[in-house]
Structure 1
């Protein structure tokens, strides 16, 4: 069973690793090989893998549905749909999932279809939205789109996992109409969850940890602040602050024990149904109810699947092997939703159970209770570290110690008090309030300890090892956690070394690398030499919880093995250039900051950039060409940087426009010549003049814009000037992060954009 489950998993992974989604007809291939399943041993495992591949393909076509067609992207369509998720508060509105039921008469042509589910934002004044409500809304639709940078978060992949085929915002709020309420069970569950979130917010008001209790009660993690998430991640306790398999198992155990205790005390009931079987039903009801509060997230699906198998064996009076139970749970989760393999929670959930089973079962000596608790925390903390480093670029070295304190406190005190309030809220609201207040007090007692541990200098471990280092690391952990009688267990430490000290990209003296990151309508670039790193602009800040610095620049640098920025240059203080700087300064060591407004960037070595400054790193020359002394802080005053080496040169002009370009052309003349030009001001109509293009005379132009941006960048007149001069243009909005290597002896080497190099079938 275990090998068959792994073969099925491999088939699903192959489909979701494909750059393009195959046609549905390929699913018929499984029907050809299935008859050979029992008769040809060599075909058995490929047949199971093909079955997994085919099921994932059918699910992607028929269940997930196609994404929004390009012809409808950017169009206004009046739709009828049902709110099918908990509304999430935004800085200027609310966001929610909308299940499309139909469109207004004549809104679409006969050949056009809409995706089944859309992620909608409603900005400005909006009514209170309740899950299950049916609305008629006019939406401005857009195809799923997100940043594509090495090491960065795949937003398009997240939308696909959640079943969203498009994003949208409400275009005409005045015409929005509420059409009624859907009474199906799933929407009733969502309404209960939304009601709990609202009720807890009213009871706990502005207390700091209300978001954590809402996550434990209803699976709504939107109220947890970024600072709290950082503390949880740095201590490795973030898995506790959501409804997880641990909590579902705890509820099942409580339900089993309570029903068993009560059933045995009523002889009439015990005669009709044995108390043990009644307790099995009670355990499943409690676990399923708690999982429903979480919206049946991936960890709860896995936990429920394992509980059904284990309790089914208990019902039948049989003993199920733990590994077989885990394999059955794996198949059940993949059959319910093959997209689960794209969720980090899927891998962490099964890996946690698997590593604990490996380290705790099959031993000759049975450890005591306290030894078992300590060993489980040690095994889970160490065993999951390679996965968390590869998936999230960080891990926690004190996770076993922090979880040793947090797991029993949250499981025995916080969760029962929180759920006690949930159960009592319809009957005794005042008792429920006291339960939630007590749960909040319990979290507030735990939190200072977690913050203290997170502040230890060696607590958080941030790195981005390559994916290939995961396999030797897992083999090394298998040796380390093996029984003591196994010889040469110390070899496992050697297998961990590639992940502990990943190799940095090797650049030779005189060679440098330019990377223009995909940050939407903004600019963030990285220049790397052999031993130094320069960041030129940091991209925009979109909201208090999201900016290009933390979403693109920091993950990319860690992916490249660079934990220090030798010099940060911010061309000027417009948000689309400076917005990500605070997050970068908080996350990485920065040697020096050059900008037009040093007072806006709190750093000990922050100063103005001025024309005439020159320095060399590893055989590469950096020259600041603009602005002269006395200029202000606007587009025309942007810091203009020229980088040159034996392999070529690049000009980074920020947002200079006509005046700044004229000053550059007159003051620098032939000194502006460069092989690569980053178009000024995102290729706006008021930039990239003929005089500048003629003086720079680039062989390649780059421009950083947002996909389908409303400003129309780059402007058609600029594109025409480039076409006349036969200068090719590349844009991260279409290519993903762009990497250009300047190699002595080879010249300018342009690498494929990250959107193409790491393409999956859900990417636009």
Structure 2
């Protein structure tokens, strides 16, 4: 209230400053109200950690695997909330979007593990507006109440997924093609995820702003080209205006088919701002449109600030806006290559900060992967989907096969890059100032040569990188107790050695704390070798994560009370052993 009074007082004398302050306070208030409403949808404590009968409707597309089905459930009785659920068992029913069910559930509050380098699952659930997580218990009370009879977009997406399965299930990269068409990532193979992750090309393998911008931009240019063939038509409606309508429509339809998820909705808003400005024939500065898109995205969902994709997408668009204005006297091929390399280099700071690791060869990987996805895989995948819808099976099969072969060739190239030991580098998050300095150094390095500012990046990088990290003194140890929920896992570091005591649990769902907590922590700490791993005993919450640790980290010696439970060579530990 004091802020609004101060702005009202200053309005007559400092109008621009007052308006900016007003927008800031309104945004702050909107974020607070939105967050409170989100928190109010969380399930009350009285319903948690016990068996409870809940009725509701299945939302979005259920993700079925061999041992479970993951799905979003809109509960409407005895409470109203959005739940993230899993249904285990071989005899579980095939779930359909929009169906109303009565389910016997066991729910728990949203929580995650808080460790350096780890994924903040609790924040992700808050961002996704989930009221609780849980699973379906085996019970005769689990009953289908009503089959979905409405013609919703989710129903169309599900029908399309079923129609695509016969064409894609035999293809090695069928899961990637499916993800590019309807935004469903449940069929992408784990090995393909790892390949894309290790080469920083994950953003290309699912529907993103790049794909929506590419398709809508292509439609815009095609309609504009065709309309200009008719001079009389252009006198009635300018080609650019008509093309903008079609570009906006194509962006909307593609985002709709992708389920209008938060990333695709964000991409549609960004593309929509540009097309609407063309339709209204307003000649705004490109940075004004950029700012308007940013405000609209945050107004639509202020929780977007918790999404890595939000920061990366607007950051990349800003880099592109800067890049297209450089080297305008060069050929289009040179400028295209320059922008691709600019994006790859400029995003290194954010990727390092958010993911605590990155690929040094990502500029080369993206230089090849972006054209392959943009001009071959994505267009052919969408063309194949259209052919399936109109009943032309053979051309659709051919289109999907070419897309799959293009991905196979690309994966071979990315695999070669993945094999280089120096490709993966790890970064230890310290403080936000380091990120700011990193971004500043990169941008100064990329400034035009005529400004003569590039040498300033050297002292900035030195300030960030050459400041010595805190060293462990001789005859002392640093003990980190990792957050692994039930069970324990401790990392003991001395001046020259590292020991891991216990590895947390592994769950039937496949989730394990070795891969999700311990390995990210060790990589963030730049620990590549464990001198000793001690497994106290063979209970799951102490030994469950060991397999993933052994796969990712070199281990010199394993000590345990149960050597017969460990596949790798290990020794029996005994009282009095010292390090």
TM-score, length-scaled by structure 1: 0.70
Aligned match of 2:553: 588
Instruction: Write the mapping of 1:262-281 to structure 2, written as runs, cut at 5 A.
Output: 262-264=226-228, 273-281=237-245
Aligned match of 2:489: 524
Cα displacement string for residues 93-125 of structure 1 (whole angstroms, at most 9, x for unaligned residues): 21111112333xxxxxxxxxx352111222222
Separation in 2 of the partners of 1:190 and 1:502? Answer: 52
Separation in 2 of the partners of 1:550 and 1:569? Answer: 17
Separation in 1 of the partners of 2:60 and 2:331? Answer: 45
Asked if the contact 1:251/1:286 (under 8 Å) is kept, the reply is yes
Among 439, 443, 454, the alignment partner of 1:478 is 443
Instruction: Write the mapping of 1:616-631 to structure 2, written as runs, cut at 5 A.
Output: 622=579
- Please state how far the C-alpha of 1:360 moved relative to its aligned partner: 3.8
Structure 1 spans left out of the alignment, 5+ residues = 1-27, 104-113, 616-621, 623-764
Aligned match of 1:370: 333
Separation in 2 of the partners of 1:432 and 1:268? Answer: 37
Instruction: Write the mapping of 1:389-408 to structure 2, written as runs, cut at 5 A.
Output: 389-408=352-371
Structure 1 stretch displaced more, 528-537 or 269-278? 269-278
The answer on 1:321 being equivalent to 2:285 is yes
Instruction: Write the mapping of 1:363-762 to structure 2, written as runs, cut at 5 A.
Output: 363=326, 365-430=328-393, 431-468=395-432, 469-497=434-462, 500=465, 503-542=468-507, 546-596=511-561, 606-611=569-574, 614-615=577-578, 622=579
- Please state how far the C-alpha of 1:173 moved relative to its aligned partner: 4.1
Among 279, 296, 302, the alignment partner of 2:266 is 302
The answer on 1:174 being equivalent to 2:175 is no
Bigger-Rg structure (1/2):
1
Q: Describe the SS at the equivalent of 1:276.
A: helix
For the structure 1 residues 100 and 452, does the alpha-carbon distance in structure 2 shift closer, same or farther, using more than 3 Å as the test? same
- Please state how far the C-alpha of 1:307 moved relative to its aligned partner: 1.8
Cα displacement string for residues 333-366 of structure 1 (whole angstroms, at most 9, x for unaligned residues): 10110111101001111111112323442x4753
Separation in 2 of the partners of 1:377 and 1:506? Answer: 39
For the structure 1 residues 232 and 326, does the alpha-carbon distance in structure 2 shift closer, same or farther, using more than 3 Å as the test? same
Instruction: Write the mapping of 1:30-429 to structure 2, written as runs, cut at 5 A.
Output: 32=5, 35-36=8-9, 38-39=11-12, 41=14, 43-62=18-37, 65-103=40-78, 114-124=79-89, 125-181=91-147, 188-264=152-228, 273-361=237-325, 363=326, 365-429=328-392
For the structure 1 residues 427 and 541, does the alpha-carbon distance in structure 2 shift closer, same or farther, using more than 3 Å as the test? same
Separation in 1 of the partners of 2:4 and 2:51? Answer: 43
Cα displacement string for residues 548-604 of structure 1 (whole angstroms, at most 9, x for unaligned residues): 11211122223334333221222334432222223222323333332356676566x
Asked if the contact 2:171/2:401 (under 8 Å) is kept, the reply is no
Cα displacement string for residues 423-480 of structure 1 (whole angstroms, at most 9, x for unaligned residues): 1222124132332222222211211111111111211222223233101111111210
TM-score, length-scaled by structure 2: 0.91
Separation in 1 of the partners of 2:430 and 2:330? Answer: 37
Separation in 2 of the partners of 1:46 and 1:158? Answer: 30
Structure 1 stretch displaced more, 439-448 or 170-179? 170-179
- Please state how far the C-alpha of 1:230 moved relative to its aligned partner: 1.8
For the structure 1 residues 204 and 307, does the alpha-carbon distance in structure 2 shift closer, same or farther, using more than 3 Å as the test? closer
For the structure 1 residues 573 and 502, does the alpha-carbon distance in structure 2 shift closer, same or farther, using more than 3 Å as the test? farther
Separation in 2 of the partners of 1:285 and 1:489? Answer: 43
Asked if the contact 1:298/1:346 (under 8 Å) is kept, the reply is no
Aligned residues: 574
Structure 2 spans left out of the alignment, 5+ residues = none
Aligned match of 1:647: none
For the structure 1 residues 180 and 463, does the alpha-carbon distance in structure 2 shift closer, same or farther, using more than 3 Å as the test? same
For the structure 1 residues 183 and 476, does the alpha-carbon distance in structure 2 shift closer, same or farther, using more than 3 Å as the test? farther
For the structure 1 residues 262 and 356, does the alpha-carbon distance in structure 2 shift closer, same or farther, using more than 3 Å as the test? closer
Asked if the contact 2:41/2:82 (under 8 Å) is kept, the reply is no
Q: Describe the SS at the equivalent of 1:119.
A: strand
Cα displacement string for residues 136-162 of structure 1 (whole angstroms, at most 9, x for unaligned residues): 223222211222223211111111111
Separation in 1 of the partners of 2:501 and 2:556? Answer: 14
